[in-house]
Structure 1
Amino acid sequence: MAEYDYDLFVIGGGSGGVRAARVAAGEAGARVALAEEDRYGGTCVIRGCVPKKLMVFASEFSGTADVANAYGWDMSAGSFNWQGFRDRLNSELDRLESVYRTLLKTSGVDTFDARARLKDAHTVELSTGETKTAKTILIATGGHPVRPDLPNAHLGIVSDDIFHLETLPKSILIIGGGYIACEFACIMHGLGVAVTQYYRGAQILRGFDDEARGLIAESMRERGINLFTGTNIMQMGPASEDHSGATPTASDATMGASAQQELIMAHGGVATEARPDHTGPIWVKSTTGHENVYDKVLFATGRDPNTTDMGLEDLGIEIGRRGEIKVDAYSKTAADSVYAIGDVTNRVNLTPVAIREGMAFVETAFKDNPTPVDHDLIPSAIFTQPEMGTVGLSEEDARDQEEVEIYCTSFRPMRTAFAGQPDRVLMKLVVSKATRKVLGCHIVAPDAGEMIQLAGVAIKMGATKEDFDRTVAVHPTMSEEIVTMRTPMRTA
C-alpha cells in the first residue's frame, strides 16, 4: 500500500499549476491531484491575459474607420455593443476552462473543486471536509488585485471586476501607473469611455525604459486620455447634489463638465449611502485638490499573493512582506516537501514564467534533474496603444552597471503617417561598449509584442550589435530599423 494518496498534490488550477500537474502525471508517471477553489485557468485565462487581450483587440477597432477613409474607403464608425462582446467573451472563457479541465483529465490528474490548505507538510485539507496526503505539495495559488487603505475604497472596482460590468461606464477614473492601469486606460478609451488616470509617481510604467515609457505617456495623452502624474486619490464617496459643482481641471476639460453633470442627474442627483453594491456615480477628490465625479473608479494599484489562511507559517514556511512565499532557486520552500511557483512567489509575475517554473519543478522533483529557474532576459509586452515590447536591461539600469552605447530611432510609421495620424514608434538597442552584446531592446509600436518575441531569441543567445548589423532588413517594415541603426545616439 502506498505511503501517500498521491505523489504530488497541486494547490491552484492556473497555468503554472496545471502545467506542472500534467507533466508530472504524463511524463513522470506520478500520481497527481489538483485542487482549485474557483475557475480552472487561473488569472491569465479567466481574469487576466486572455480576456484583457480580447478587450485590446475590441478597443483597437475604434480608429479603423478614420484610417480606412484616409486609404480611400467610405467607412463610418459604428457603436460598440458591450453586452454582445461580453457574452461572446464569457463563452470563450467557458470554452478555455473546459479545455483546461479536459487536459487534466486526459493526463490522469484527479481534480477537486475545493479550497485547499496545508494541515502538515504532507497533508492537504479540502473545504469539502476531505484530507489528502502527498509526498510532495506544490502551491500555485497566484495572486489577487488589492484596494488601497482608503475610506469608501469598496465603491471602486479592481481589474477582476472589469470583465463582469453590466454596462460600460460613461467615465472612469483609473488609479495606478503600472502596466495593468495603463492597459485598461487604453482599452476603456478605445471602447468610448472618457478616461482619467491618476498616478502618484513622476512617470507611468516605473521600472521600464524611461524613453519608452515617456513615449507611451505622450501617446496616451495625445489620444485623449487624461493622464495626471504626481497625483493620487485622497477622498472618495457616493456622488450627491453637493458634488455637482465639481469642476474639471484644464486637462480634464475633454471629459466635459456638462457630461459630468449629466452623469449625476442620470442617477437622480441624490446622495447614496456608501455600500459594497453601490452602482451610482462616485465623487473623488485628488491630492492636488481637484474634485470630480466618475461613473466608475478602477484601482490598479498592485497585486498580492494568495497565501491567507493556508497553514504555511505553522510549517515554518517563510512569508514575505506582501504575503509571498519565499523559495530557493529550485522553487522549494523551507519545508522540504513543499514547493511554490508563479505569482504566489512574487518573483516574475508573468504566465509564461509560471509555466517555466512548473516545468523546472517537475524536472527537479520527479525526474532527478535539479533545474534552477532561469529568470534572466525574459521578454515581455505591455498592451497599451501603442504596445511596448521589452527584453533585457533598460538604458538606466545598464548604464549603472557599465558603459553602454544607445542606438535609438523614433519615427512616424508608414501606415499611420499616410493617414495623417501623429502616432510615433520607438526602436532602441542598449549595447555594451566592452563586449558589444545587446543588453536590452525596447520597442514602442503597433504589435511590439510580436516583434520583441523574436528579438528576445537573439538577445538570449548573446547576439552582438554587429550580429544585428549583419542581418539584412525586411523592407518596408517598422522592425527593419532594429538592424539598420549604425550610429549610436549617445554613450551613457
Structure 2
Amino acid sequence: MTSYDVDLFVIGAGSGGTRAARIAAGYGARVQVAEEYRVGGTCVIRGCVPKKLFVYAARFAHEFEDSAGFGWSLQGASFDWPTLVANKDKEIARLEGAYRANLGRAGVEILPQRATVEGPNAVRLADGTRVRAKYILIATGGHPNLGLAIPGRELAITSNEAFHLPRLPRSIVIQGAGYIALEFACLFAGLGAKVTVVHRGSRLLREFDDEICEHVAAEMRASGIAIELDVTIAAIAPDAEGRRVRLSDGREILAEEVMLAIGRQPNTVGLGLETAGVALAANGAIKVDAGSRTNVPSIYAVGDVTDRLQLTPIAIREGHAFADTVFGAKPWTVDHSLVATAVFTEPEIGTVGLTEAQARAQGYRLDIYKTDFRPMKATLSGRATRTFMKLVVDQRTDRVLGVHLIGEASAEMIQIVGIVLAMGGTKADFDRTIALHPSAAEELVTMRSKHASSDLPEQSAESTPAI
C-alpha cells in the first residue's frame, strides 16, 4: 500500500487554494499549503480588495463636489496618498491574518516557501524537503502580462506596483482596455491625476455589451480622461517630468508614470509541471476538465492558473467543488456560463448573462429593452452623468438572457439580478414585480417598450413616477 505524507498538497494560498485546503481538511484530510509570498493571493494582497479601497477613496472627490447642490459647504478638503496607502496596508495585513487563522483552525499546515511539482504524487520545497501527496492542487494564480517588447518597458509599472507608489502621480498613461486598465484610469483621475488611456483596438471592454462600452467611454471622456484608440505605446524614455511616451502613430505624451494593463498570464513557469506530464495551453494555462482535473489523475488546478474565468468567486467555487468531490464524496462542478461581474469604473458597470451580440450569434430572436436616464442625485448635484440599463430577452420563451447596467450601485444590483437569471427568470417576472420608488433599480421592472428611453433629457427616472 502506497504511503503518503499528506492527502492533499496545495501550491498557492490564494482564494481558490485556501478554500480547497480548508474544506478538504474539514473532511479529515491531512493538508499542507505552500505559499512563497503572502497568504490571500492576488485578490487580497494586490488585486480586488486594495483596488476597491482605492476606488472608494477616488469617489469621495465626486461626493464632495456633489454635496454642494444639497446644501453642504466643505472647505479645505484635501487628499493624502501616503495615508491611503498606509491604511490599505493595515487592512491587507488584517485580512491575511484572518486567512492564516482560518487555515490554522481547520488544521491546515502552511509552509512559507516555494514548492514545485516533482511527479504525479510528489512536490519539492525550496528547502529541499520532498513531500509525497495523494493529490496535488495547483492554485498559483496569475501575474500581469509583461510581454510588451518595447524600448523602455522597464520604466512602466503594472497593477502590482500601483498600490505601493510613494506618491500619487500627477499624470499617468495606461495601456489597456480591460477592467483593470479602466478601473485604475478612473480611480487615478478621481484622485486628481491627468489620465490617458491607450488601446490598440477600436473599443473598450471588448467582452462587454457594445452599448455599455460606448457609454463608459463617453462618461470617462466627460470626466477628463483622454482615450486614444487604434494606437499603442511604441517606446518609453526617461524625462524630466517622469516618462516620455511615444505612440505608434508618432505622437508623444509626457507623464509621471506609465502603467501596462494588457492582461494577465497564468503562473506556471518553473513549477515543474512538465516533470509530471501536466498538459498546458499555449499561454501557459493548465488544461483541466469540468472537475478541475488535469490529464494527470492525481493533479488538479483551480483559479486563474487555469485561465477559465479570472474572478475570485470563481476560484473559490472551483476550490470548494474540488474538495467536496475528492474528499467529501459530494461531486459537483462549477457552472461558468452565468456569472455576474462588475467593473468599478466611474460610473460602475454590472453585467450578467449574454450580450446582445452573443445572443444573436447563438441564433436567438431577441426583444431588447433599454432605458437611459438622468439619475435623481444628479438633478441637484448638477453632475453630467446618465444611467443606462439593458435587458436582452429571448423572444420565443420570454426568458431574460442578459442584463447590462452602468450607473451608481450597478454592482450591487447585478448580484441580485444574477439570482433571477440563474432561476430562469422571464421578462414577465420582471414586469409583475412592484417597483421600489424612488430608486434606479425600479427601472429594471418598469421597462415596457422595446428599445425604450425612460425620460426626457431634463427629467430623472427616479424622481418621475410612472402614471
Contact 2:151 2:234 in 1 (8 A): no
Counterpart residue number, 1:49: 48
Counterpart residue number, 1:65: 64
Give distance in 2, aligned partners of 1:33 and 1:78.
49
Indicate the SS of the match to 1:111: strand
Give distance in 2, aligned partners of 1:215 and 1:71.
27
Deviations 1:345-374 (A, max 9, x none): 000110000000011101221122332221
Counterpart residue number, 1:489: 451
Q: 2:431 aligns with which of 452, 465, 469?
A: 469
Deviations 1:145-193 (A, max 9, x none): 0221212101100000011111111110000000000000001001111
| Aligned-residue offset at 1:395 | 0.8
Contact 1:21 1:34 in 2 (8 A): yes
Deviations 1:319-378 (A, max 9, x none): 111110000011000110000000000001100000000111012211223322211210
Counterpart residue number, 2:339: 378
Unaligned segments of structure 2, at least 5 residues = 453-467
Report matched runs for 1:103-114 at 5 Å: 103-114=102-113
Shift in CA distance, 117/10, structure 1 to aligned 2, threshold 3 Å: same
Contact 1:62 1:77 in 2 (8 A): no
Contact 2:153 2:235 in 1 (8 A): no
Report matched runs for 1:219-238 at 5 Å: 219-238=219-238
Counterpart residue number, 1:172: 172
Counterpart residue number, 2:249: 288
Give distance in 1, aligned partners of 2:124 and 2:279.
20
Deviations 1:1-34 (A, max 9, x none): 98101010011000110000000001x1111110
Counterpart residue number, 1:260: none
Q: Does 1:30 align with 2:29?
A: yes
| Aligned-residue offset at 1:293 | 1.4
Q: 1:326 aligns with which of 287, 295, 311?
A: 287
Whichever residue aligns with residue 255 of structure 2, its letter is Y
Report matched runs for 1:239-388 at 5 Å: 239=239, 264=241, 281-388=242-349
Indicate the SS of the match to 1:304: strand
Contact 1:380 1:449 in 2 (8 A): yes
Give distance in 2, aligned partners of 1:40 and 1:416.
42
Q: Does 1:395 align with 2:356?
A: yes
Counterpart residue number, 2:191: 191
Indicate the SS of the match to 1:132: strand
Counterpart residue number, 1:421: 383
Deviations 1:403-440 (A, max 9, x none): 11100001110001222111101111000001110000
| Aligned-residue offset at 1:83 | 0.6
Report matched runs for 1:192-211 at 5 Å: 192-211=192-211
Counterpart residue number, 1:437: 399
| Aligned-residue offset at 1:100 | 0.6
Indicate the SS of the match to 2:281: coil
Contact 2:174 2:258 in 1 (8 A): yes
Contact 1:60 1:190 in 2 (8 A): yes
Counterpart residue number, 2:408: 446
Indicate the SS of the match to 2:7: strand
Contact 1:15 1:351 in 2 (8 A): yes
| Aligned-residue offset at 1:77 | 5.8
Whichever residue aligns with residue 78 of structure 2, its letter is S
Unaligned segments of structure 1, at least 5 residues = 241-263, 265-280
Give distance in 1, aligned partners of 2:110 and 2:126.
13
Counterpart residue number, 1:139: 138
Counterpart residue number, 1:156: 156
Indicate the SS of the match to 1:339: strand
Indicate the SS of the match to 1:215: helix
Give distance in 2, aligned partners of 1:53 and 1:67.
21
TM-score when normalising by structure 2: 0.95
Contact 1:65 1:76 in 2 (8 A): no
Q: Does 1:455 align with 2:417?
A: yes
Identity %: 49
Counterpart residue number, 2:459: none
Give distance in 2, aligned partners of 1:337 and 1:78.
58
Contact 1:65 1:77 in 2 (8 A): no
Give distance in 2, aligned partners of 1:413 and 1:431.
24
The 4+ residue runs of structure 1 with deviation greater than 4 A are none
